[in-house]
Structure 1
Amino acid sequence: MKITIEWTYKIPRGGMETVFRSDQMEAGKALKMAEDIEKTGRIKNLLLIDPHGSTWTMKELKRYLKEIEEEPHNITVYFDGGYDLKTAVSGLGCAIYFEQNGKQKRLRRNVQAVGHKSNNEAEYAALHLSIIELELLNVHHMNVRFLGDSQVVINQMSGEWAVLEPNLLSFTDRIDAALKKLGIGAEYEHISRKMNGEADRLASQALQGIEIAAQVEYVLESD
């Protein structure tokens, strides 16, 4: 979860005060920053604001971070789909990065699929595959970043572009329903094909019939 810090800074003599507002940052970092700001002793009012506009006390945020420690959180999803026009076969790939129990984890998954009629459909199917994997990880009621190199999928899912094709509209409805069921707030971001290399390789390997389902982890470095 991202948090924005807003605080009123007051000069002891003269009664001058002003309001400062930070950029959004991960909740854990925001909590550390807020605690440090309070140490100045010149803070009249400090608010921790989530993306929905709800405010949290530091005590509430500490409790929330403790509760989610054992669950996947700080999740970023890379997805990509490939389509072979000659064989009408699709390759779907996704790489999911998340934190859990103080460790950074990465899940990679790909699938070969049939029944799609275009590369755009394959891209949507890859996004849908990533949501299925999130459900298997028991991800629910939190924000997730979805990164892909398909302008069509990213702009349509974020509402920037209208969805006119019935086959793609079916995908958007299915994906929105799956996200709503899990309580996931989706944040979509378009990235270059180069930055999406891992998901692209997974999709290409799926087209070649190479199936991958793997998860690795390592201890997070302290800030």
Structure 2
Amino acid sequence: MKITIEWTYKTKNGIETVFRSDEMPPAHALSIGEDLEKTGRAKKLQFIDQNDSTWLAKELKKYIKEIDTEPHNVRVYFDGGYDIQTKNAGLGIAIYYEQNGKSYRLRRNAPASGLNSNNEAEYAALHLAIVELDLLDVHHQTVQFLGDSQVVINQMNGEWPAYEKDLSSWADRIDEKLNELGITPEFELVPRKLNSEADRLATQSLQGVGITGQIELQ
């Protein structure tokens, strides 16, 4: 979930205007909101989520306390590789998240067969990532998905149509799974060099090297 702060600012002369912040994580919004109130100039302060629902500060505190024990601030990198000669695919994902005040990284790759293109492999990698989110019990929150496939990112964003039946089918499966988990996705296209971890995992899978691991980040 992302929160926007809206408040009325009143000058010493009594002139008022309304300000609205960028979206931010709930804990950041609560901290900034409390700081604004200390100035004595911020009136009618509201916390608004992505569904335009308004939260009281005490409600936001309760929510933050509840999600602290669950994976949150989740960021997912995904990549798929496809070998035209063998028609085999390798999928790679790296999931970063916070839980109980600590930061973690989960890495996994997997082989895939029965795919017909690199674009399908990219979609399969994204689907694999969402399955892993389900296993991590990530639900009812905003998750950031980062990949270097223009096709997948732009189609999932709704900016490009998915004319190919195979790709459209993958997109539908992914949307269905996201809805089932209550995940609001944010898809972001990143340069290949910023997706090198997932790319390496996908390549290692194609080479027959399986990797599954989770570590706490220091």
TM-score (norm 1): 0.95
C-alpha distance in structure 1 between counterparts of 2:43 and 2:3, whole Å: 19
Question: How far did residue 43 of structure 1 move?
Answer: 2.1
Structure 2: 5+ residue stretches without partners:
none
What does the per-residue CA deviation read over 1:40-75, in whole Å, with 9 as the maximum and x for residues that have no partner? 112221011112211111111100000001000000
Residues 90-109 of structure 1 aligned to structure 2 (within 5 Å): 90-109=89-108
Residue 188 of structure 1 corresponds to which residue in structure 2? 187
User: Match of 2:7, as an amino acid?
Assistant: W
What does the per-residue CA deviation read over 1:87-115, in whole Å, with 9 as the maximum and x for residues that have no partner? 11100000001110000111001001111
User: Match of 1:39, as an amino acid?
Assistant: K
Residues 65-144 of structure 1 aligned to structure 2 (within 5 Å): 65-144=64-143
**Counterpart check, 1:177 vs 2:176:** yes
TM-align CA RMSD: 1.0
Residue 11 of structure 2 corresponds to which residue in structure 1? 11
C-alpha distance in structure 1 between counterparts of 2:173 and 2:22, whole Å: 33
SS of the residue 1:52 aligns to: coil
C-alpha distance in structure 2 between counterparts of 1:91 and 1:218, whole Å: 26
TM-score (norm 2): 0.97
Structure 1: 5+ residue stretches without partners:
none
Aligned length: 218
SS of the residue 1:195 aligns to: helix
Question: How far did residue 36 of structure 1 move?
Answer: 0.5
SS of the residue 1:135 aligns to: helix
Structure 1 range deviating more: 46-55 or 114-123: 46-55
Is the 2:105–2:217 contact (alpha carbons within 8 Å) kept by the matching residues of 1?
Answer: no
**Counterpart check, 1:2 vs 2:33:** no
Question: How far did residue 11 of structure 1 move?
Answer: 2.6
Is the 2:9–2:41 contact (alpha carbons within 8 Å) kept by the matching residues of 1?
Answer: yes
C-alpha distance in structure 2 between counterparts of 1:4 and 1:21, whole Å: 7
SS of the residue 1:25 aligns to: coil
SS of the residue 2:132 aligns to: helix
C-alpha distance in structure 1 between counterparts of 2:89 and 2:43, whole Å: 58
Question: How far did residue 17 of structure 1 move?
Answer: 1.2
SS of the residue 2:193 aligns to: coil
What does the per-residue CA deviation read over 1:112-163, in whole Å, with 9 as the maximum and x for residues that have no partner? 1111010000000000000000000011111111100000000001100001
C-alpha distance in structure 2 between counterparts of 1:102 and 1:197, whole Å: 27
Residues 20-59 of structure 1 aligned to structure 2 (within 5 Å): 20-59=19-58
User: Match of 1:11, as an amino acid?
Assistant: T
SS of the residue 1:9 aligns to: strand
Question: How far did residue 15 of structure 1 move?
Answer: 2.1
C-alpha distance in structure 1 between counterparts of 2:51 and 2:108, whole Å: 31
Residue 204 of structure 2 corresponds to which residue in structure 1? 205
C-alpha distance in structure 2 between counterparts of 1:106 and 1:64, whole Å: 23
